[in-house]
A and B are shown apart, each in its own frame.
Chain A
């Protein structure tokens, strides 16, 4: 039996703030609230540590979706980090949308340490979205030279 077409399994990178959503993911885990294995989490001290370069890098290396999770606005462990992150990501996502990259591939969600359910729901819906979008062709393809 030969496999003609490989099943699409997306690569999804999730940047999670150590103080909220990373703990939220832990809570989702200990509560056994599943979400697809396609999601891989990278721990950062704060959403404001997430450089747009990291997100572009992930796409360039073949990620099909990138999600960033931080503390709810006003609840940042460092007071203001997520406010800066919010502006940075808004502008970055808008730019990606502008150059024709599907907006659904990027997302920001605020998930607190207590929101294991929200974490799992968020990941499930994000993964579902990425499946519906299929493989990320455009971002990986956006280069100067063909």
Chain B
């Protein structure tokens, strides 16, 4: 029989205001096995933990139940406290009477009743707990960064500077990401390339950083500290070692009709190309879809003009398998597809563009060489209209339910830059709300209004109506003046919602990292563990976790790096002892469990057993506890009940069920 101590936390008034904590403690004493019960203001405080330790010593406790906040919050705290007092940490169970009780119920009597039941369930479970010993596993001291944008680059630099090896896997031919496409950055109006390229160069020159561009993660197996990753290096058709980056091939390439990804399809590029002038590595790739040689077998001009003999049409995709201790996801974002927003005439008129396209138009290396002009006829616009929240804050299935966060600021930036450079251009912004939390952000927006005379109208646009004369009639509402507005514009810019890179779902599935309905990766705790995935060893950097601007991305990238470094710095990791275990005497050897194990942790061995005097060799399931992650799939698949999960055993769960239904 266990000797159980029950500790009921007030959590200040968080619990005590709705749960009669002393009643819970009092009721606990009536439960089987409970020899001690008390309540205290803050169980997680040093004094609270001391109470637990004292009771363990004085009452010779063998098990602990803490009635407090969620185990996801303080289970580790209390387990460590128990361990320090000499108790096996796995003899501690938490009854969640805050998140699952006091915070959601208003009636004291009802909440107290429920808290008592939750306490009972925990006591019933602890009665069946057994001491568990975690195993150890090794840590591969290398990190993988998925995504080579500013988030990935910054994380890689920070980890590499701490002395660990880092590999970056980037899908496109160059690192740089979205930031490389931006012209200027808010709120300081720095040139984006000027602050990004030094970081790109630093990353590529860093001796601890290896960059795989034009590559994708193909498969991930293993677990924290010991991931095995297959990386597909797509055939570049250009030998990285031989190419000097002279650029002649791109000049001479006769196929120049492929839409430029870098310029958002606003102009074309050659079939052999580097996405932009400062690309890293400065080695082109051949777009085999566009290349005449690959399509018809004839051409081969690039090969002829290449002095270095770097062109290799025979190159094949290559799979590289590497081991990593930590993986950082930095897959970034894209703008949403506007097919479902045809009322804004995006597909009907070339003069309706997205803000990211405007970045390219404003950029000296862009399709108009930095001149603000209409893409339909090259004329300079006189009236520009910006429409905010295109696809953001939509609860229907056309758009995204969240605020994209960056649009208000970059629109103010665009408006300001246009008014600054082209004072005769009128700029009107239709907005729903202007959201500018951030240092110097609102000041920035106000400057656009006060100093640059940008016309902000509160109200959404209903329709953009192309006119026979080539102008765009913008039909919007002015909610403050209560009138409908018809404004003739030369160009319309849509602040298009951003969404996580569509590939991220595939990656999340490989990593078994959880992802929300909007395809943003979920953090382990919304406030306290914002850069970690709930899956150990996976860290989040940048927009893959939620919309953010550059400074926030860089800050998060650094935070993710620190978390990864914290992991890589360890020599050994404690493994979760809540693993499956098979009872040899009950095992049929039927292989059912093996079929459902996602980790290949179950194997079969012929073993001699002594079943009540009968000695025979049997085919038995054996669990490799280093591989087992403790999901429990096998325990339910097992017909005989031989397979059980430590820490969540059949009997423990049934005891909880019984206690709740009592």
Contacts and interface: CB of A to CB of B under 8 A. Distances in A.
Interface string A50-86: 1111100110011100000001101111111100100
Contacts of B629: 78
B508 to A, nearest CB: 7
Interface string B90-103: 00000010111101
Contacts of A74: 505, 509
A114 interface: yes
B569 interface: no
Interface of B: 70-73, 96, 98-101, 103-107, 110-111, 113-114, 117-118, 121, 505, 508-509, 512, 514-517, 522, 526, 534-535, 578, 596, 598, 629-633, 635-637, 645, 648, 650, 653-654, 656-658, 660-662
Contact of B632 (A11, A22, A45): A45
Contact of A27 (B509, B515, B526, B657): B526
B509 A81 contact: no
A114 B636 contact: no
Given A25-B99, A49-B632, A112-B517, A40 B118 contact: yes
Given A46-B631, A49-B632, A58-B657, A75 B508 contact: yes
Given A48-B636, A78-B629, A84-B633, A41 B514 contact: no
A42 B578 contact: no
| Most chain A CB within a 10 A radius of its CB, from B596, B636, B648 | B636
A45 B522 contact: no
Contact of B630 (A45, A72, A76, A115): A45
| Most chain A CB within a 10 A radius of its CB, from B72, B101, B107 | B72
Contact of B103 (A30, A77, A79, A84): A30
A54 B635 CA distance: 12
Contacts of A42: 121, 653, 656-657, 660
8 contacts: A26-B100, A29-B70, A29-B101, A30-B99, A42-B657, A45-B578, A74-B509, A77-B512
B324 to A, nearest CB: 18
A44 B654 CA distance: 12
B626 to A, nearest CB: 16
A130 interface: no
A23 interface: yes
Interface of A: 11, 13, 18-20, 22-23, 25-30, 32-35, 37, 40-46, 48-54, 57-58, 61-63, 71-72, 74-81, 84, 88, 112-115, 120
Nearest to A42: B656
A48 B632 CA distance: 6
Q: Is the interface of B mostly helix, strand, loop or mixed?
A: helix
A25 B509 contact: no
Contacts of B118: 40
A35 B657 CA distance: 20
Given A51-B650, A71-B514, A88 B636 contact: yes
A75 B515 contact: yes
A42 B117 CA distance: 11
Contacts of B106: 34
A84 B636 contact: yes
Given A46-B633, A112-B514, 19 more contacts: A11-B660, A13-B660, A29-B70, A29-B100, A32-B104, A33-B104, A40-B660, A42-B121, A42-B660, A44-B653, A49-B631, A49-B653, A57-B657, A63-B660, A84-B596, A84-B636, A112-B517, A113-B514, A114-B522
B113 A78 contact: no
Contacts of B578: 45
Contacts of A35: 104
A45 B657 CA distance: 16
A35 B98 CA distance: 14
A32 B103 CA distance: 6
Given A22-B72, A26-B70, A49-B645, A112 B657 contact: no
B104 A20 contact: no
A5 B104 CA distance: 28
Contacts of B113: 37
A138 B653 CA distance: 23
